[in-house]
Every structure is written in structure tokens, then in C-alpha cells.
Structure 1
Amino acid sequence: MKIGLAPTNSDYGPATADMAVEAEQRGYDSLWVGEHSNIPASRETVHPDGGELPEFYWRMRDPFVSLAAAAAATSKIKLAMGVCLVLEHEILDLAKSVATLDEVSDGRLLFGVGVGWNREELANVSDVPWPLRYNAMRETVAALRLLWAEHEAAYSGEFVNFAPAWVYPKPAQQPGPPVLVGCRGRIGMRHVAEYADGWCPLDVGFRDIRVGIERFRTAVEEAGRDPDAIPISMYCYANPDAEKLELYGSLGAERVVLGAPDGADRLARFLDRYQPLVDAFAD
């Protein structure tokens, strides 16, 4: 099994490049960083898991800059967006940023995408109506793939439109880096089934993870695709242990991503605590 590490990547934590080096040395196959372009001070949208919003949400570093620094400091570890909120970016600029990151990392990028959970965050930077966010993400991914693969690309859709343009560089991975969709609901699963190269759900979002994965496999089959051809990278925040990793592996998860706490001291204790698990399970 592949084991990934997902630190909070906050500005009061260790440097991203340092985390990437340590993760690579410890046997992790991938380093995952999230994204929030902004967190509205209104706090009208409640966090999906309830409770107070942790400080690291509004103190995350930029994922592109962070992973570029990590790429320069490492040679093997995969660099993963977990996830990029693609609707909060201008499409041509996003295509260039992703392609550049894949190029400078020699094709080590895993491009996780998502729609986010905060209505006000999206409204601050986009005119996409909240109920249509998944439709807009579908168009965004389709347009990105065109821009990465073709010398001259154009797109005309409901949410994404641009005239024929040249956007370079192209990604090292062709026709583009794998697109993983982060979600845990039925609508998101249908989108994964339709066009994603991978699925990265949170294990804390399911009452029974077995039911969730079976629902996912059914959605993929209904879309006419092979569930075994869409790798699962399971975000594990619910007290990972050997039994849990064995369960996820038996259910078809290719990778388990360990969600780490914020703060340098807490992160260091976390890494030491779970090193035996990494040693036992990592490929």
C-alpha cells in the first residue's frame, strides 16, 4: 500500500520543503497540501464536521508555491494537491501553474481537485452559483485537459470560455497529470465516475466506509467504467491503525493519506507515532 502524508501546511508550521524531505526519507510516497484562497470572516457556512473552524484553515500557504519548493528539495516523492479549489482560479492561469509544477517536478504531480464546502469563499472569487459548482468543475477539468494536451486550444461552455490560445509549458505527464476528485457525496461520486483519474475521499465522511466504497464502485460501473481502473487515495483522519489500513486495502484503496496535525511539535510527535505503521504498510 502507498502511504501519503497530509500536513496542514500552515504558515506557523514547518516549511513545506522540509516536510517533503522528511516524508520522503520516512517512506511516504506522497505529500498532500490543501487550498483555501480565503476564509470569509462572516463564518456563515458551518464546517462540514461541525465545531469551531481550526486556525490553519485561514493560514494555509499557497499550494503551488509550497509544492514547487518541495519539488526542488526532493527527487522521488509524489506532490499532491489535496485539493485545489479549481473554481477559485482563472482557467488559463491555472493551466499554466499546474503544467509548470508538473514540469519542474519531473512529472510527480497528483492534481486533486474539488469544489470546496464554504459558500462564501467561492462567492468571494467566482460567479458560479453554488448549486452548479460540480457542473462548473466538470467544464474546468475538460478545459484544462485540452490546454495541457493541445498546441492551440479553445473552449466554449456554460462556465468556461476562451478563444483559441497557446498555453505553455505542457506538463511532463502527457496528456496531463492525473486528476483526482476529492468528495464524499453521491453527486461528487457521479463526477468521479464520469471523468476522474482517481478518487480521494475522507474516511470520516462515512458512517460505514464499506457502504461508501460500494456506492462508489456502483457509480463507476453505471458510468460504463471499471472501478479497479480508478485508484482510491483514502484520507485517514479517524485514528489510523493497522486494522484500519488492512480494511482500506481489502476494500480496494491504493493509498492511505494520513492527516497530520498543525504545529511543528505536534507534527513531529505524529510522525514518530505513526512511523511503525508506515514501515509496516508502505510499498
Structure 2
Amino acid sequence: MSHTAHIPSHRKPRQRASKSALRAGVAGGVLSTIAVAGAAGPAQADPVTQTIEMPTITSGFSTAVAASAQATQQVALDLETQADEDAAAEKAAKTAKKAHAEAVRKAEAKKKAEAAAKAKAEAEAKERAERASRTSERTTLSASSGSSDSGSSASAPSSSSSNVSGSAASIVAFAKAQVGDAYVSGGTGPNAWDCSGLVQAAYRTAGIDLPRVSQSQSTFGTQVSLDNLQPGDILYWGSAGSAYHVAIYVGGGQFVGAQNSSTGTVQRSMDYDRPTGAVRVL
């Protein structure tokens, strides 16, 4: 065997050397490029400026926008004007309603005042007529009583005119003159009475001041029998000192008293409502 049999062919090593040289050359070029770039320092990037072009508003579009704004403003003004008109109308309606109510109230007040004035005038006229009638009746009764005192014929003891004094005649005349007047609890005249108010007023014409209430009047004086009454005596119903009603005996078995709200002041027979007892003050 040749001593060169184990030696590789010389051609293959050359090919490999060529490839290695090529590779080394490329790598060297790359390294050179990096080295140059590193020596030059970092690159400064230029700022990028981008311009955006906005659409151009045409004159027609501007006019439409202005017109729309003007229309909106006009609508707002119209609404405000309508609101003011509505408020004014509502206020006027309220004022008119108030004025009408006031006019109605004044008319009713005037009507009531006229009715009250008419009623007052009628009442005053009636009162004047009643007073005139009472005055005439008192005059006639006084004259009759005076004639009886001078010696007229006598009647039963309980109503004997010979026992009627001037004071008794005055009391009886006053009591009879009030017949027909109204009964009012607590009334003391001149046209409305309660029972004790009438008796007190009748005795006042004779200058005698009686207590105000029937309980006290039933014990003011001397107790007398119902069979021995004289005109002017005070009749009472109930117990003496706790009487609930009083009247004036006017002779002839009759009395005058302010009875109740239904009958008013009346002249009645003692048989109509028999009293419990009587007192004599004169």
C-alpha cells in the first residue's frame, strides 16, 4: 500500500478553506458595519408631522344653521309670550271672580240691611201703637179704680173694689197693660217678660222695689189665704221660698202673669192654673 493511501485528497481541503474564507469575510463585513454604526452614535429620528385637512363648511350650510338657530329662538320667544298671556288671563279671571263674589256679598248685605230696617220700623210702629193702647187702658182703669174707691158698690171680698188702694190700682193697671207681650226667660220689659220680671216692674210703678226672682218674691210680704185675696197680691206656684212661678192677682178671680214662651203674658182665671199660695205686700 502506498504511504499516501490514508491521506485525504487535497482538493477537498481547498474547498473547505474557500468556504471558511467566505464565511469569515461575511462575518467581518458585518462586524465592520456594526463597528461603524457604533462609532457614529445613535441615529436621530426626524419628527413626523401629519397635517389633517378639515372639511370646508360651505356658505349654504352656515346659512341653514343660522336659520335653524333663529327659528329655535323664535319658538322660545313664542312659548314665553304664550306663557305670559296665559298667566295674565288666569290673573284676570281670578280678579273678575273675586270682584263678582264681592258684588254679590255687598248686594246680599244691602238686602239684609234693608230687610232689618223695614222690620225695625214695623216693630217700632207696633210698639208705639201698643204703648198708646196701654196708656189709654191705664187711664181708663185708674179712673175706674178712683170711682170705686169713692164708694161704688162692693163685690165679693176677694175682688172688692173698696179694698183697692191707689198703689194696688197702679200695679193692676200696669200688669193688665202688658197682656199680649212675649215671654222671654230673664226678660224685664218693656215688651218681653219673665214671670218675676213682670211682677217686679208692676210693683215698681207703686214705688215698691221687689226682689228679682220668684223664690224671693214668694216670701216678700205677708202670707194670705187664696180665699181672702185682694187686687195687687202676689200669687205663687210651688212652696214659699222655692216658688217656680209668680203672677199678680187683678180681682174677679183672675190673675195676670208672663206664663211661658207659647202663651206669653196673659190674663187668666185662677181655675186655669190654681196657685199654691199668695203674699200681700201693700
TM range (shorter): under 0.3
Instruction: Indicate the structure with greater helix content.
Output: 2
Larger radius of gyration: 2
TM-score scaled to structure 2, two decimals?
A: 0.23
Instruction: Indicate the structure with greater strand content.
Output: 1
Q: Which has the higher contact order (CA 8 A, sep 6+)?
A: 1
TM-score scaled to structure 1, two decimals?
A: 0.23
